[in-house]
Amino acid sequence: MEFFIGHYNYWIVIILMMVGLYTVISRGNLVKKIIGLNIFQVSVFFLYISLGTVKGGAAPIITEGVKVYSNPLPHVLILTAIVVGVATTALALALVVRIKESYGTIEEDEIHNLDHSL
Amino acid sequence: MVSHISLLLVVVPLIAAPVVAILPRGRLPWLVAFMVAATCAVLAGMQLWAVLYEGAISYELGGWAPPWGIEYRIDAVNAFVALIVAAIAAITLPYALLSAEREIPEDKIPLFYSALLLCLTGLLGITQTGDIFNVFVFLEISSLASYALISLGRQRQAFTAAYQYLIMGTIGATFYLIGVGLIYSQTGSLNMQDLATILPGVLHLNTVETGFAFLMVGIALKLALFPLHLWLPNAYTYAPSVVTVFLAATATKVAVYVMLRILFTVFPQGFAVTTPADELFIVAGIAGIITASVYAIYQENIKRLLAYSSVAQVGYMVLGIGFASATGLTAALVHLFNHALMKGALFMAVGAIVYRVGASRMEQVHGLGRAMPWTFGAIVLGGLSLIGVPGTAGFISKWYLVSAALEQQAWISVAVILSGSLLAVVYVGKLIEALYFKPVSAAGKAVSEAPILLLLPTWTLVLANIYFGLDTDLTVGVAEKAAAILMGMTP
């Protein structure tokens, strides 16, 4: 039981990761796929932030009297990854707009039919 | 100056990209992009020369000492790959001028060159950096730029191809990120050299093994290893011709390099053999060579045919890696170089046909070989190199690959490599038949030879195919040296 409760943040990471991946794979709606992708990426952000935590550690800002700090490096890494994620989402949504303009739909199977009925 | 080359290779195209984006329409953006690519090629050549004669270069970004700061670490392996990427960019850009004017809307031309330079930045960055997180950042820079480049294709399928690539590419990159996180959690380091000293002590941990698996799957998605190749055929088919040339000759090659780095430098030599990864590479390589080659035979679009052939060629490289021997790695690296030459030449020749005809479907190019003899000649010679006929670059890589397989008495692999060549005979033959032996259509009679500006870069690569098929000092010499570094035989 301790194993489950003690690592609850990691369980959340795994659940989010699976929800995200499943959404990307199973949904036919292109926007929903992007939402799934975002959930998937967010789970990785949580993973990194969990890794950086030090038990009893304060935020990594030098303060009088504080001896233990959390590890700031994973947090910095994930700031970079968040920026990358935002850029990816923006580009993906831009592509969806163009797809909607040229196909008139954002459902994967309808697009597939339109391409192959010619 | 010399000591800053490794950083300049990344910074020059990075700074040039936004500059090119705001330049006025016309040919100025092209000129700047071409000068940048040429500069990068010269710098990459100087860098390889310096590495070969003076040993590995270590460059500390911002003066922060590794392993805390980001280090650019250059040895024969990445200097070689960087030269391939920069040289292909420098040869592709003269070709881009006319081809892009024909295939890309005029108002998007400056942005197109800007994205191309960003893609170059990312690819060169991957080769330069000695930090595994930095690899992720550059991977995403190059990938985001290439999604945008692919979506510039004229048909609407270009959008769905780019979207599909974006979804799969992002999943791949995120897997890589998970792998980096898991390994960081057990080692506390991101520097490749530093990891190489820490990892042997923690290899038995499940977390490290899981991290390794995530890294490998993530990279396999990026390099289009069968069966994770689904994004590649559409992306190569619907992208503008120039983009296909550039991506086919560089993007997957850089991913192969990352795989080599992680497998042999970051993780201790021999670790992959203790995991199922080693067998998986050989199985995936074999399955990729056969399946993709058979798929290529049935394609009705020339670009798609060549795209499937690319998946098969990636299979050869991964097979070489799977052998985990010095000869195998030499074969993989030589093929990396040679495949960039042959696919570059072939996609350029196809781009020249698209320039004249506006299409790349088989039935639309019937008999055009006689109207476009130089383009057709390039396709024939490039195709022979793809098959691996003696006297072409393709033969050299097949030779080393077969030697590596024979060394380990891997008879199945030998048979697969040889039958892969036979299948290549079939699909190249199909291409030549359509171009030369089928009767010319009415519309095809008016077609004339492609402009000289398209033919020159194409033939530069074709002649390089012949040259490196006869004189192997540079390719094999450097590849052997690089393989020795990866195998840990020289410091």
What's the CATH number where A20 sits?
A: 1.10.287.3510
Cis peptide before B227 (omega within 30 of 0): yes
Q: Pick from B486, B481, B355, B366: which is nearest to B431 by CA?
A: B366
Residue A21 confidence (pLDDT): 92
- Alpha carbon separation from A64 to A53, A61, A68, B225 (Å, rounded): 20, 10, 11, 53
For A73-92, the pLDDT digits (tens) are 888 889 999 999 999 999 99
Neighbours of A68 (CB within 10 A): 9
C-alpha distances in angstroms, B253 versus B19, B73, B335, B372, B446?
28, 19, 10, 30, 38
Q: What is the pLDDT of residue A118?
A: 55
- Specify burial of residue B462 (Cβ count, 10 A radius: 0-12, 13-18, 19+): buried
CA-based nearest distance B102→chain A, Å:
21
- What's the pLDDT at B225? 86
Which structure tokens are listed for B240? 């503008």
Residues 153-172 on B with a CB inside 8 Å of A are 156-157, 159-160, 162-163, 166-167, 170-171
Chain B residues lying within 8 Å of A102, measured CB to CB: 156, 159
CB atoms closer than 10 angstroms to residue B449:
15
What does the alpha-carbon distance between residue B216 and residue B69 come to, in Å, rounded to a whole number? 25
Could you state, in order of their start, the residue ranges of all structural domains in chain B?
Answer: 276-491
Average pLDDT of span A94-104: 91
Q: Report the predicted TM-score, pTM, of the whole model to 2 decimal places.
A: 0.91
User: Domain containing A62: what range?
Assistant: 2-116
Residue B181 has its nearest CB partner, among A37, A47, A98, at: A47
Taking the Cβ of residue B436 and every Cβ of chain A, the question of whether any pair is shorter than 8 Å is answered with no
Q: Which residues of chain B have pLDDT under 70?
A: 1-2, 442-444, 489-491
The whole-number pLDDT of residue B115 equals: 92
Give the span between the Cα atoms of B296 and B308, in whole angstroms: 5
* Cβ–Cβ gap B144/A115 under 8 Å: no
DSSP assignments along chain A, one per residue: -HHHHHTHHHHHHHHHHHHHHHHHHH--BHHHHHHHHHHHHHHHHHHHHHHH--TTPBPSS--TT---B--HHHHHHHHHHHHHHHHHHHHHHHHHHHHHHHHS--BHHHHHHHHH--
User: What's residue A44's pLDDT?
Assistant: 92
- Tokens of residue B91, six digits: 């040869």
State the amino acid at position B415 in one-letter form: A
To test the contact with chain A by mutation, choose from B131, B147, B171 the residue with the greatest count of A C-beta atoms within 10 A, namely: B171
Nearest by CB to B167, from A24, A74, A84: name it. Answer: A24
ipTM comes to 0.93
Distance CA B273, CA A88 (A): 35
Say yes or no for a CB contact (<8 Å) between B178 and A77.
no
CA distances from B371 to B241, B361, B449 (A): 20, 17, 6
Chain A: nearest CA to B4, how far in angstroms? Answer: 25
Contact flag A88-B133 (C-beta cutoff 8 Å): no
Neighbours of B239 (CB within 10 A): 28
Cis before B276 (ω within 30)? no
Pairwise CA distance, residues B79 & B56, whole Å = 9
Query: How many structural domains does chain A have?
Result: 1
Cβ–Cβ < 8 Å for B428, B383: yes
User: Is B278 in a helix, a strand, or coil?
Assistant: helix
Of the partner residues A37, A44, A74, the one whose CB lies closest to the CB of residue B167: A37
Q: Which of A42, A58, A43 lies closest to A11, judged by CA? A: A43
| Nearest C-alpha in B relative to A115 | B157
Q: How many CB atoms lie within 10 A of CB B475?
A: 25
CB of B258 within 8 A of CB of B216?
no
Q: Which of B136, B155, B170, B300 to mutate to test the interface with A (most CBs of A within 10 A)?
A: B170
Dist. CA B176–CA B213, nearest whole Å: 9
| A&B contacts, CB < 8 Å | 67
Contacts of A47 in chain B (CB under 8 A): 178, 181
Q: B184 and A80: CB-CB below 8 Å?
A: no
Which residue is closest to B185 within chain A, CA to CA? A51
B contacts of A38 (beta carbons < 8 Å) = none
Q: Residue B133 and residue A102: Cβ atoms within 8 Å?
A: no
Residues of A in contact with B160 (CB under 8 A): 99, 111, 115
Structure tokens at B305: 């045919």
Nearest-Cα residue of chain B relative to residue A77: B133
Tell me which of B174, B182, B194 to substitute to probe the interface with A (most A C-beta atoms closer than 10 Å). B174
Distance from CA of A95 to the nearest CA of B (A): 6
